[in-house]
């Protein structure tokens, strides 16, 4: 509890991290309260072709899109999709990757080698390339996007946790516990995991930002949730043919993506400075 107060204290002092935190908080609030904040909540699925492509006005704060729907309202609902994808995809990959990394790092032997080789193969290719292949194969939907992202992200965590586990293992206190006969599971959970937790937290935060960008790219390419989903990437793709006149159509979702990702990046950077000054810019091969 003492450390939590300390972290919170430092956090409130670090303006950069604070800004990031505020942006994320805004995102969450917007997503949760979208139905109440939206001026035209029904426009998520309804069309009003007569009102298409109108500029920002008092009634439509950010104008209307090609189907006459309110851009502002759809933007708010799009936040829900963004959060859902980011949280589930990152969460799943962490939940899969971290235990695999722990086990592979703790034990020696062919299983560890195999797991790491498999991870290396996934990491040998940029995430989006594989994600496109998977999403394309399975068909465009929000579930498939989440699946594609999780499948291509867990190896990153496995590799990371593997390396950190191996280095923590060499610490005396771990050797001592093993010598005392503490069960492997307890060693992993009570000794190794807490020590690598701050690294995981920082990278999870930054990973959310990256995942959102990749998800938006998939949406832009048409591999995300299909029409009439208000997903931000898809909306930008839809807006292209109406440029440069309907500038609000493309600007709003793009700006939203920017602010959200920026928020996660700032928060992650701030957390890194607060939680563990030993985490320097990673010198690993970035894989």
Partner 1 sequence: MKFLVLIVNRCLWFFPTVLGLLVLTFTISHMIPADPIAAAAGENATAAQIAELRAKFGLDQPVPVQLYRYILLVLQGDFGVSLYTQRPIIEDISTRLPATLELTFVAVLVAAVVGIPLGVLSAINRNSPVDHVLRLVTVSGLAIAAFWFAILLQLLFAMQLGWTPLQGRVDGWGPDPVTGFFLVDSLLAGDLETFGDVVAHMILPVATLAYPAMATIVRFTRAGVLEAINSSYVMYEEAMGFPRRIIVWKYVLRNALIGTVTQIGLIFGILIANGVVVEAVFDWPGLGLYAVSSILQSDYNGIMAFTIIAGVIFIVVNLLVDITHALIDPRESR
Residues at the contact surface with partner 1, assessed by CB under 8 A? 117-118, 120-122, 124-130, 132-134, 136-139, 209, 213-214, 216-217, 220-223, 233, 236-237, 240, 243-244, 247, 250-251, 253-254, 257-258, 261-262, 265-266, 269, 280-281, 283, 285-287
Q: Rounded to the nearest whole angstrom, what is the least distance from the CB of residue 206 to partner 1 in the complex?
A: 9
Q: How many CB atoms lie within 10 A of CB 36?
A: 8
DSSP SS3 for 64: strand
- Nearest residue to 227 via CA among 61, 60, 46: 46
Give whole-number Cα distances, 112 to 22, 95, 258, in Å.
41, 18, 39
Q: Rounded to the nearest whole angstrom, what is the least distance from the CB of residue 76 to partner 1 in the complex?
A: 18
Nearer to partner 1, 162 or 220 (CB): 220
Place of tokens 């062919």: 110
Nearer to partner 1, 101 or 224 (CB): 224
Nearer to partner 1, 139 or 194 (CB): 139
Q: Rounded to the nearest whole angstrom, what is the least distance from the CB of residue 281 to partner 1 in the complex?
A: 4
Dist. CA 82–CA 145, nearest whole Å: 11
Nearer to partner 1, 146 or 187 (CB): 146
Dist. CA 138–CA 263, nearest whole Å: 31
Q: Rounded to the nearest whole angstrom, what is the least distance from the CB of residue 50 to partner 1 in the complex?
A: 27
Residues in Cβ contact with 31 at an 8 Å cutoff, skipping those fewer than 6 apart: 76, 79, 80, 82, 83
Helix (H) or strand (E) run with residue 266 in it: helix 247-275
Dist. CA 219–CA 168, nearest whole Å: 40
Dist. CA 52–CA 70, nearest whole Å: 9
Q: Rounded to the nearest whole angstrom, what is the least distance from the CB of residue 213 to partner 1 in the complex?
A: 6
Q: Rounded to the nearest whole angstrom, what is the least distance from the CB of residue 223 to partner 1 in the complex?
A: 7
Q: Rounded to the nearest whole angstrom, what is the least distance from the CB of residue 71 to partner 1 in the complex?
A: 15
Share in percent of the chain as helix, strand, coil (round to 5): 75, 0, 25
Nearer to partner 1, 99 or 222 (CB): 222
Residue 6, both tokens: 């300390």
Nearer to partner 1, 177 or 251 (CB): 251
Dist. CA 215–CA 131, nearest whole Å: 9
Nearer to partner 1, 158 or 257 (CB): 257
Residue 176, both tokens: 């001592």
Nearer to partner 1, 5 or 285 (CB): 285
Q: Rounded to the nearest whole angstrom, what is the least distance from the CB of residue 115 to partner 1 in the complex?
A: 13
């Amino acid at each position: 509890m003492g450390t939590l107060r300390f972290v919170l204290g430092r956090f409130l002092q670090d303006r950069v991290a604070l800004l990031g935190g505020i942006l994320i908080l805004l995102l969450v609030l917007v997503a949760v309260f979208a139905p109440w904040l939206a001026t035209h909540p029904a426009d998520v699925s309804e069309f009003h072709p007569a009102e298409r492509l109108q500029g920002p006005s008092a009634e439509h704060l950010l104008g209307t899109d090609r189907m006459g729907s309110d851009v502002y309202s759809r933007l708010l609902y799009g936040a829900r999709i963004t959060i859902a994808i980011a949280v589930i995809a990152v969460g799943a990959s962490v939940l899969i990757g971290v235990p695999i990394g722990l086990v592979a790092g703790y034990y020696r032997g062919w299983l560890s080698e195999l797991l790491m080789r498999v991870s290396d193969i996934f990491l040998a290719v940029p995430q989006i390339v594989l994600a496109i292949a998977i999403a394309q194969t399975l068909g465009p939907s929000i579930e498939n996007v989440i699946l594609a992202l999780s499948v291509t992200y867990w190896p990153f965590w496995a590799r990371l946790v593997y390396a950190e586990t191996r280095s923590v293992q060499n610490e005396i206190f771990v050797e001592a516990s093993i010598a005392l006969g503490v069960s492997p599971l307890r060693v992993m959970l009570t000794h190794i995991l807490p020590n690598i937790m701050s690294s995981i937290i920082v990278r999870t935060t930054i990973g959310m930002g990256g995942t959102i960008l990749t998800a938006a790219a998939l949406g832009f390419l048409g591999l995300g949730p299909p029409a009439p989903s208000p997903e931000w990437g898809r909306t930008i793709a839809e807006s292209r043919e109406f440029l440069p006149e309907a500038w609000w159509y493309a600007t709003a979702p793009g700006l939203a993506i920017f602010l959200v990702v920026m928020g996660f990046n700032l928060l992650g950077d701030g957390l890194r400075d607060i939680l563990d000054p030993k985490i320097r810019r990673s010198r690993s091969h970035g894989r």
